């Protein structure tokens, strides 16, 4: 953990409702959780993160496992919340958008001219959703390929193939002569 505390002691205290332990967990995991959700649902990411933490609080007493398992559990809940949101949205009536509005949308490849964090996240929109999700879980969630497989319900080999294809697709999008710089 970022605080250097043993996860077992933090988890045990958090399960009894200790504020310091909950604060430790929240401070460690809330930033990547929000970034994961915002990358896929920019308008609803914050609300989804709150719902995920409420789910975690409800099920915390029954959780058993180490830090890696806790991180997997957290992102599994987040992924299910995303799926629920998209299902709900699919049932809603959509508002038609004129063609003129669509013409003004930026090309995802333009973001690579000068890479900033927000632009980089937006560029993942050029990937198929499943591949973008795997990249986000790997890079933002800090999960390895086996943990991503567990979270997404796929086989580890499938995840490795999908992440390789995602990087190849991103490499096609990045101009070879692009000057890449990161703004933090």
Partner 1 sequence: MSSWGDLDTEMQRLPLDANTADRLLAGSIAPEDAPPGYAGVATLLAAIGDSPGADEPVGASEAVASLGAVVRSSQTQITRPSRRSNLSRLKLATAFVTVALAGTTGLAFAGSLPGAAQSVASDMLGTLGVTVPGPNSNAGDHPNVRGKSADTAVTSNSGKGSEISELATSTDLTGVAKGAAISTLASDGKSKAGQEHGAPVATPNSGGTGTADTASDGNSSQGTSAANTASDGHSSAGSDNSADGQSHRP
CB of 57 to partner 1, least distance (A): 4
Measured distance CA(111)–CA(28) in Å, rounded = 29
Q: Shortest approach of partner 1 to residue 99 CB, angstroms? A: 30
Query: Which backbone phi and psi does 183 adopt, to 5 degrees?
Result: -105, 120
To partner 1, the closest distance from the beta carbon of 68 in angstroms equals: 14
Distance between CA atoms of residues 72 and 94, nearest Å? 33
Residue numbers of the site for partner 1 (CB under 8 A)? 2, 14-19, 22-23, 26-27, 30-32, 34, 39, 50, 53-54, 56-62, 112, 115-117, 119-121, 123-124, 135-136, 138-140, 144-145, 160-161, 163-164, 167-168, 170-171, 174-178, 180-182, 184
Report the alpha-carbon distance of residue 84 to residue 44 in Å, rounded: 12
Closer Cβ to partner 1, 58 or 92, answer by number: 58
CB nearer to partner 1: give 6 or 50. Answer: 50
- Integer distance in angstroms from the first to the last C-alpha of the chain? 23
Among candidate residues 91, 157, 164, 166, the one with its CA nearest the CA of residue 129: 166
């Amino acid at each position: 953990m970022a605080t250097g505390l043993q996860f077992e002691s933090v988890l045990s205290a958090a399960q009894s409702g200790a504020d310091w332990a909950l604060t430790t967990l929240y401070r460690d995991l809330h930033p990547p959780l929000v970034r994961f959700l915002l990358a896929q649902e920019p308008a609803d990411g914050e609300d989804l993160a709150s719902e995920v933490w409420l789910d975690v609080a409800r099920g915390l007493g029954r959780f058993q496992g180490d830090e890696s398992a806790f991180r997997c559990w957290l992102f599994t809940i987040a992924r299910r919340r995303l799926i629920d949101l998209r299902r709900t949205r699919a049932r809603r009536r959509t508002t038609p958008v004129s063609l003129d509005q669509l013409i003004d949308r930026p090309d995802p490849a333009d973001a690579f001219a000068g890479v900033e964090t927000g632009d980089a996240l937006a560029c993942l929109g050029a990937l198929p959703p499943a591949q973008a999700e795997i990249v986000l879980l790997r890079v933002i969630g800090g999960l390895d390929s086996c943990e991503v497989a567990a979270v997404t319900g796929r086989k580890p080999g499938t995840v490795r193939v999908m992440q390789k294809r995602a990087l190849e697709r991103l490499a096609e999008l990045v101009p070879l002569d692009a000057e890449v710089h990161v703004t933090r």
